[in-house]
Chain A
């Protein structure tokens, strides 16, 4: 058992070495987001214009604590959305490349000369998508949040406002980070059938994996419609393309609660992102587990292709 874990650690480490975008992407996003925050602060200082209404609101001494807390949570969440978007691209392109690059540069012959099974290798690539990419993204989120809060603190200090009280005592960091981490790990699990499909294509395609991955999922729903006049497959595919339909919360309800009209009500309570996530609903969802099984089938197919097809 410990051998299996050691192998997986070494294999996942190898993926991070090879696919440097796994940590460069969140680092770049953190850099850009922080740069924008600095620019916003400088703009406010230079022109006296309020670029970021959240910062204005936070600095308002008359604001109730609950609302300040909520405003900070909304600010952090807005910041996090950029990371989620980047992670989506990362997941898609990583899975598409994971079992393709080693065949393109023929390094597969070296990897296969070591006592590691094809199943171990394919599973390490899946684990990289489901664990390493969300964790690297989470690290980027944490760094960016801290940097942004520090910049806000410096700005508030120059305005004569006490940042300890207005930011650090108010910001629901732990709650937000826990919620973000759950979301980031749940996202690839929800997208698992798509990621499994991409891993299979990356093991199978002799060239042009992107085209070979996209064409079937673009064409098959139309075939279904022509033959059966139904859109089941199309709807299933669209659902798994991103996190919007994830059965962990109702994103529309979520957005509605933060709508300008309702904002006051929400902000009056002690807002908690974590309390808006329903982990039980996610873990007991039939759709989630059905997706995991579909992913398992695709990954098994990828293992078989790597194991039994001789294309060196």
Chain B
């Protein structure tokens, strides 16, 4: 496996605040990586550093390039949707296609038109006349028609209704992802991409809390539902987080023996959302 992104000891601070604090990770080719973190966790700063929009300390290499110094080369092989509102309102759909065609060497206009023909986006419409969902469809149609090695999506479905959100991800999987391409997604709607991701990373206070493949999650992370005396015994094993559900205790364990835990109650793999809460709150405690 080749690494598309390699970060070692990457930091970025604004005055006194360390937005990204000594972070190291790799993203391999062909993965769909979900990056999660609460607001202000450093997600966006990390993405910006990877996209060459901001500088950082440490070693950061994206597609073998220094993103800040070699931005133009990088942008030939990387695409990103920063969020839904960034397409300019004044531009017409055809003008947008003309412009990307003239400036992006890896853009296929016919593919973009093919994607657009499946939507309700009229080609003579201006962006400001389109609904929020249609603007996202338009943006996605353009991005998907670019033969890029890495696609970065920062809250791509923010403010969209559930139908558009579902459609967005199903289009992404069926039309874009081919196992050769690599996708990095951040979103607050963790559940929606849970079945889509191959890898997952949590970030909080500028540090990585979790960096794992989805397949490896059940081996390491266990949620135990228990109560009464069993709960006290389980607590001795050091859960990272504990919460109450209908009078029962739900404890999250990291790297503990599943069989041993099963003696105290019902074990299962936590959902990504629950795991996220457990890791963030557990780290804060």
Residues of B within 8 Å of A281, CB to CB, are none
Binds B, one of A3-11, A44-52, A182-190: A3-11
Interface code B17-57, partner A: CB below 8 Å = 1, 0 otherwise? 00000000000000000000000000000001001011100
Beta-carbon contact of A105 and B54 below 8 Å: no
Beta-carbon contact of A110 and B82 below 8 Å: yes
B58 within 8 A of A: no
Beta-carbon contact of B102 and A7 below 8 Å: yes
Q: How far is the CB of B173 from chain A (nearest CB, A)?
A: 21
A113 within 8 A of B: yes
Q: How far is the CB of B65 from chain A (nearest CB, A)?
A: 12
B71 within 8 A of A: yes
Beta-carbon contact of B82 and A312 below 8 Å: yes
Beta-carbon contact of A114 and B103 below 8 Å: yes
Given A18-B88, A102-B88, A310-B53; A115-B82 close (CB under 8 Å): no
Q: How far is the CB of A19 from chain B (nearest CB, A)?
A: 9
A82 to B134, CA, bound (A): 43
Residues of B within 8 Å of A116, CB to CB, are 72, 75, 103
Residues of A within 8 Å of B91, CB to CB, are 17-18
Question: Taking chain A's interface residues, is the majority helix, strand, or loop, or is none over half, making it mixed?
Answer: helix
Residues 240-275 of A at the B interface (beta carbon under 8 Å): none
Given A116-B72, A310-B48; A105-B102 close (CB under 8 Å): no
Beta-carbon contact of B90 and A17 below 8 Å: yes
Q: How far is the CB of A154 from chain B (nearest CB, A)?
A: 38
What number of A-B contacts does a CB cutoff of 8 Å give?
A: 70
Residues of B within 8 Å of A107, CB to CB, are 86-88
A205 to B119, CA, bound (A): 39
Given A107-B87, A110-B82, A110-B86; A17-B95 close (CB under 8 Å): yes
Residues of A within 8 Å of B92, CB to CB, are 17
Residues of B within 8 Å of A114, CB to CB, are 75, 100, 103-104
B121 within 8 A of A: no
A206 within 8 A of B: no
Residues of B within 8 Å of A312, CB to CB, are 48, 53, 82
A57 within 8 A of B: no
Beta-carbon contact of B103 and A115 below 8 Å: yes
Beta-carbon contact of A112 and B102 below 8 Å: no
A109 within 8 A of B: yes
B159 within 8 A of A: no
Q: How far is the CB of A231 from chain B (nearest CB, A)?
A: 41
B246 within 8 A of A: no
Residues 1-60 of A at the B interface (beta carbon under 8 Å): 6-7, 9-11, 13-14, 17-18
Q: Which 3 A-B pairs have the closest CB atoms?
A: A10-B102, A107-B88, A115-B75
Interface residues of B (CB under 8 A from A): 48, 51, 53-55, 71-73, 75-76, 79-83, 85-92, 95, 98-100, 102-105, 139
**A–B pairs, 27, beta carbons within 8 Å:** A6-B102, A6-B103, A7-B103, A10-B99, A14-B95, A14-B99, A17-B90, A17-B91, A17-B92, A17-B95, A106-B82, A107-B88, A109-B86, A110-B82, A110-B86, A110-B139, A112-B53, A112-B75, A113-B80, A113-B81, A114-B75, A114-B100, A114-B104, A116-B75, A310-B53, A312-B53, A312-B82
Supply 16 further A-B pairs (C-beta < 8 A) apart from A109-B83, A113-B81, A117-B71: A9-B102, A10-B103, A17-B91, A105-B88, A106-B85, A110-B82, A110-B86, A110-B87, A113-B82, A114-B100, A115-B72, A115-B103, A117-B72, A310-B48, A310-B53, A312-B53
